Amino acid sequence: MSNVGESSAPASEMAITSNMENLQRGSRLHRKQKWGPRGDECLVMLLQEEQTAINGLPSSFKTEVWTRVWSAYVLKTNDDVSIAQLKNRWKTLKKNYRIYTNLLNKSGWSWDYVSHRPTPDSPDIWDEVLKVNKDYRIAREHSFPLYWTMHALAGMSIATGRYAMGSTEEHTLVDITEGCDESDSPNEKGQHDGIRSVPASDDVEVIGVRKKRKQAQSSRNATDHTKEAIDKLLELSDRRSKIVEQYKDDNESFSYKLCMEKLTALPEITAEEMYFSGQAFKQREERIYFLTIPPRRVSF
């Protein structure tokens, strides 16, 4: 980018002089700029070139650096913008970056490299986060192809931690803190393109909503497990009842009383034979044997 400035020094000096005059006259010479993907990409690429050239972040850029960026931007796009407008657009892009990153930091969210936006593990989560903060709608409705380039430019200046990415691609892991960096003025905080800074309490509320959903799901799962256990107990109880009934029937069919009745009905049985038979009938096998043999074969 420095080559552009050297090769067209007179034009650049005239452009700088013109821009300074525009800044002095204020907004009378500049209508509200309508920014699009082409202009955003050009601005971010120029800032990235300057970052590489001077080994510094945009938050530390001096006036002369922004002047070079402005000069190159005007030459590339032919847009009638001022340095102040470029700076404000950069602040807006940083605000957008914070919003997308705040969503990406949340548990269960990952980056969709096709649609260029953060996505939750369940589409229903969108409704929950929008109830907490409507500014998240921009991430739901608009892609952000410049996100990872912005990450290299703005991430290091406004990040203080880590978040886990849902991708196999390697990127620096960061965690966004709220507020503006050194280039943001106090009266501009949270006012760019109607996008407010996302308060930390939002994450707490979203986590609370997600926790309630998980608790409800856990409760339903516990109820299902309880019902299943009860069904198994009922099945076992029914089987046990059948076994008991069968055992009861068997005992009644081969009872001691039946054996004694059959024994006393035998002709010519002696008291001694009756005594020894009564002792033998204490064993179930003996009762079964005695009651199942034909009467004509019973003899002592």
As to burial, measured by CB atoms within 10 angstroms (0-12 exposed, 13-18 middle, 19+ buried), residue 5 is: middle
Q: Which two tokens stand for residue 104?
A: 């990406």
Residue 30, SS3 per DSSP: coil
Task: Looking at mean pLDDT, say which of 155-169, 190-204, 240-254 comes out highest.
Answer: 240-254
Percent of the chain at pLDDT > 70 equals 63
Residue type for position 41: E
Question: What is the structure's pLDDT at 238?
Answer: 75
Q: Residue 166: what are its φ and ψ, rounded to 5°?
A: -90, 55
Q: What is the pLDDT of residues 179-201, one digit of tens each?
A: 334 444 434 444 334 444 444 44
Q: Residues 251-279: what's their mean pLDDT?
A: 79
Q: How confident is the model at residue 259 (pLDDT cuts 50, 70, 90)?
A: confident
Question: What is the structure's pLDDT at 155?
Answer: 65
Q: How confident is the model at residue 298 (pLDDT cuts 50, 70, 90)?
A: low
The Cα–Cα gap between 104 and 163 comes to 8
The Cα–Cα gap between 229 and 101 comes to 45
Question: What is the structure's pLDDT at 205?
Answer: 55
Question: What is the structure's pLDDT at 175?
Answer: 38
The Cα–Cα gap between 141 and 144 comes to 10
Residue 18 has pLDDT above 50, yes or no: yes
Prediction pTM value: 0.47
Q: Residue 145: what are its φ and ψ, rounded to 5°?
A: -60, -25
Q: What is the pLDDT of residues 100-130, one digit of tens each?
A: 999 999 999 999 999 999 999 998 999 999 9
Q: Residues 2-23: what's their mean pLDDT?
A: 50
Residue 43 has pLDDT above 80, yes or no: yes
Q: How confident is the model at residue 7 (pLDDT cuts 50, 70, 90)?
A: very low
Q: What is the pLDDT of residues 134-152, one digit of tens each?
A: 999 999 999 999 999 988 8
